[in-house]
Amino acid sequence: METESVAKQHSDPGHRFDPLFQAHYDAIYRYCARRLGVSEAEDAAADVFAVAWRRLDDIPDGSDRAWLFGVAYRLIGNRYRSRRRQIGLAARLRAVPGGAVASGPDPDQTRDEEVDLLLRALDQLSPVDRELLRLSAWDGLDRGEIALVLGISENAVDQRLHRARSRLKTRFSRLQSALSSIEPKEAST
């Protein structure tokens, strides 16, 4: 009976694809939205799952999520290379009806400024640093998953993440200092 069951699983791709899609469609969609904007996120996510369908047998057991993120990472980099620099992505998301940030102004103005400043600091980092931080903080991947997505060792993830956070902090502080030095002048004029 067990043999038949296994054989059935392999002859029915939907058996594996359906739960894969259900478990990860939202995360992959949001991953794409963060990097491309809402208008292109759905198509990109669909492309990712189309690749998954064709390569179901290649997806390592237990690493579904990281594998899908890896496909998304490469696919976005490849197909949308001309739009890789996502400067102003947050602004674009804001402009899209139904987008997360478009859901209404944040009542906490101070936090909004901090967030904007942080996003500017993030944009000043190298693509690799940005991707590491986003995969960790926004996509919620652990070090092993990030290693799989980026094709580097877990130790390298640790080291690079540590340095990327440090660089982000430095850039953020610099922007804060720059802002605070401008504001009094503006106030006095």
Partner 1 sequence: MIDLLERADPARDLQADSVRLRAKVEERIGVSAPLRPGSIAIRRPWLVAAAAFVAVLAFGLPVLLRDQPPSVFAPDLDGIAAHPGVEEAVALASGGLQVMDTDGGTIWVMTTLQNLLQRISAESGEVEATYPIDARVEGVVAGGGSIWLISPDHGGEVLRFDPNLGVVDSTIPLGGAPGWSHWLGDALWVGTDQTEVVQISSDGEIVSTVPGDLKGGEGLGYLWVNDPGTDLISSLSESGEIGEIVIPTERGLDTMSGSGIRQVSEADGRLFLLDGDHPWGTNLNVFDPDSGDFGAFTGLTFGLLDLVQFDGYLWVTSSTDHLIIRIDPVTGEQRRYPMPGKTGGLVVADGSLWVTLFQTGALLRLDTGADLIESSPIVADDWNRFPHRLLCTGTGEATGPTVILQPSDWIDYGSMSVIQAKLSDEGHLACTNGYVQGETTPEQQAADLDEALGEAGIAGPYLLVAAVDGVHAVRLFADGRDDIAGVVLIDPMPVGFQDFYDELLPDYSGHPPWLDLDADVSASLDTFGSVPLVVIEQDPQAVFLSPNFLESPGGEAAEAVNQYWQDGLAFYSGLSSDARSLVADDSGLDMIIWDQPDLVVEQVLELADPS
Please report, as ranges, the residues that interact with partner 1 according to CB under 8 A.
Answer: 13, 17, 21-22, 25-26, 29-30, 33-34, 38, 41-43, 45-47, 49-50, 53-58, 73-74, 76-82, 84, 89-90, 93-94, 99-101, 103, 111, 114-115, 118-119, 122, 126-128, 131, 133, 137-138, 150-153, 155-156, 159, 163, 165, 168-169, 172
| Residue closer to partner 1 (CB basis): 26 or 142 | 26
In whole angstroms, how close is the CB of 157 to partner 1 at the nearest point? 10
In whole angstroms, how close is the CB of 61 to partner 1 at the nearest point? 15
Dihedral sign, Cα of residue 152, residue 139, residue 77, residue 54: positive
| Residue closer to partner 1 (CB basis): 82 or 189 | 82
User: What string of DSSP letters covers 94-155?
Assistant: HHSTT-GGGG---S-HHHHHHHHHHHHHHHTS-HHHHHHHHHHHTS---HHHHHHHHT--HH
Dihedral sign, Cα of residue 75, residue 80, residue 85, residue 86: negative
In whole angstroms, how close is the CB of 178 to partner 1 at the nearest point? 18
| Residue closer to partner 1 (CB basis): 127 or 183 | 127
| Residue closer to partner 1 (CB basis): 124 or 156 | 156
- CA 85 → CA 88, 92, 125, 161, 166, distances in Å? 9, 13, 11, 20, 21
Distance of CA 21 to the CA centre of its chain: 18
